[in-house]
Amino acid sequence: MKKKKIAPVIYIILCFIFLYLPIVVTMVYSFNSSKSLTKFESFSLRWYENLFSNGEIMNAVYVSVTIALLATAISTILGTITAIGLSKSRKVLKEVIINVNNIPIMNPDIVTAIGLMILFSSMKMEKGYLTMLLAHVAFCTPYVITSVYPKVRNLDPNLANAAMDLGATPFQALTKVILPMLKEGIFAGVLLAFTMSFDDFVISYFVTGNGVSNISIIVYNMTKRTNPTINALSTLVILVIVITLVVINVIPIMVRKKRERKAILIEKPQELKEE
C-alpha cells in the first residue's frame, strides 16, 4: 500500500522538477556576471542594466503588452457577443458557426500565419503594428467564444425577457443580468486570450514588418547568439506572472475573510441582546 502511495508522489515531484528546474536555472543565471550559461562566476545586475538600456527590447515589451491588452479587450467583446448570439440562433446556424470557430483552434499556427499573411498582402495592407493586432484578435476570439459559450448554454433562456418584464432595458438586461452571470467564463476567456497573444511567435513573425517586433520575435533573434539578457527578461516576466497569480488568489481570500469577520461582529451583538 505504501509503495502505491509513494509512486504517484515521486511521479508528480519529477514532473514539477522537469517543468520548473529550467525556469529556476534561467532566473539564477540572470544574475551571473559572465556570459556563461554553465558556470556561475559572481552575482551581478549587469544583464538587467543591459535590458533596461536596450531600446529594441523595451520597444518589443511595449508592443507585446499593448497588443496583448488590445487584442484581449477586442476579442473578449466580440467573443462574448457571439456566444450570447449563438444561444438565440437556429440549431443549424449554431452548429455551423461552432464548427467554423473550432477551425482556427485546431489549425496549426503556421497554417493560420500563412493564411493571414496572404490575406494582408492581397489587401495591400502595410505589415506592422495594425496587421499584428488584427491577427491576434483573429486567433484569440475563438478561444473566448469557447470559454463563454458553455456558460451561456447553462443560463435560463427566459432570463433576459424576465428582466425586461421587470422594467429593465435590453442594455440593462445585458449588462446587469446576463454578463454578471457569465463573468467566470469571460474571465477565463480574458486570461486565455491575453496568454495566447502575449506568447505568440509564429503568427506574429509572419504578419509583422517595418521593424515592429514583440518579445517572442526579439527572443528568437537573440537566441542566435549567447545573450544572457534573455535570462533577465524571462526572469522579470516570470516574476510579474507569479505576482499576478498571488494577487488574484490572495485578494479574494482576504475579502472573504473580511466579510466573515464583519458577519461575526454583527451576529455577536444580536446574540447578546437576545440573552
- Cβ proximity of 238 and 27 under 8 Å: yes
Angle among Cα 154, 254, 238 to the nearest 5 degrees reads 85
Report how many domains make up the chain. 1
* Cα 20 from Cα 36, distance rounded (Å): 21
Residues in contact with 231: Cβ distance below 8 Å, sequence separation at least 6, in sequence order = 26, 27, 29, 30, 32, 47
| Residue 239, CA atoms < 13 Å, CB-side half-sphere | 10
The pLDDT value given to residue 54: 83
Range with top average pLDDT, 36-45, 65-74, 82-91, 230-239: 65-74
* Cα 97 from Cα 84, distance rounded (Å): 13
- Cβ proximity of 155 and 87 under 8 Å: yes
The pLDDT value given to residue 74: 95
Judged against a pLDDT cut of 70, whether residue 217 lies above it is answered with yes
Query: Is 4 domain-assigned?
Result: no
Query: Is 185 domain-assigned?
Result: yes
Residues in contact with 36: Cβ distance below 8 Å, sequence separation at least 6, in sequence order = none
Query: Is 40 domain-assigned?
Result: no
Q: Which tens digits make up the pLDDT trace of 93-109?
A: 888 888 888 888 888 88
Residues in contact with 136: Cβ distance below 8 Å, sequence separation at least 6, in sequence order = 67, 68, 71, 75, 196, 197, 200, 203, 204
Scan for cell 509583422, then name that residue: 208
* Cα 28 from Cα 43, distance rounded (Å): 9
Q: Which tens digits make up the pLDDT trace of 167-194?
A: 888 888 888 888 888 888 899 899 889 9
* DSSP character string of 136-190: HHHHHHHHHHHHHHHHHHTS-TTHHHHHHHTT--HHHHIIIIIHHHTHHHHHHHH
C-alpha cell at 126: 502595410
Residues in contact with 127: Cβ distance below 8 Å, sequence separation at least 6, in sequence order = 120, 207, 208, 209, 210
Higher pLDDT, 259 or 138: 138
Q: What is the pTM of this model?
A: 0.81
**pLDDT (mean) for 214-221:** 86
Query: Is 60 domain-assigned?
Result: yes
What is the span of the domain harbouring residue 62? 54-228
Q: Which tens digits make up the pLDDT trace of 12-60?
A: 899 999 988 888 888 888 888 887 777 778 888 888 888 888 888 889 8
Report the share of the chain in percent with pLDDT over 70.
94
Judged against a pLDDT cut of 80, whether residue 75 lies above it is answered with yes
Query: Is 39 domain-assigned?
Result: no
- Reported confidence tier of residue 272, pLDDT bands at 50, 70, 90: very low
Query: Is 62 domain-assigned?
Result: yes
The pLDDT value given to residue 32: 84
For residue 195, the domain's CATH number is 1.10.3720.10
**Burial class (CB within 10 angstroms; exposed 0-12, middle 13-18, buried 19+) of 149:** buried
Judged against a pLDDT cut of 80, whether residue 267 lies above it is answered with no
* Cα 140 from Cα 17, distance rounded (Å): 31
Judged against a pLDDT cut of 60, whether residue 249 lies above it is answered with yes
Query: Is 239 domain-assigned?
Result: no
* Cα 27 from Cα 204, distance rounded (Å): 26
* Cα 55 from Cα 238, distance rounded (Å): 21
Query: Is 221 domain-assigned?
Result: yes
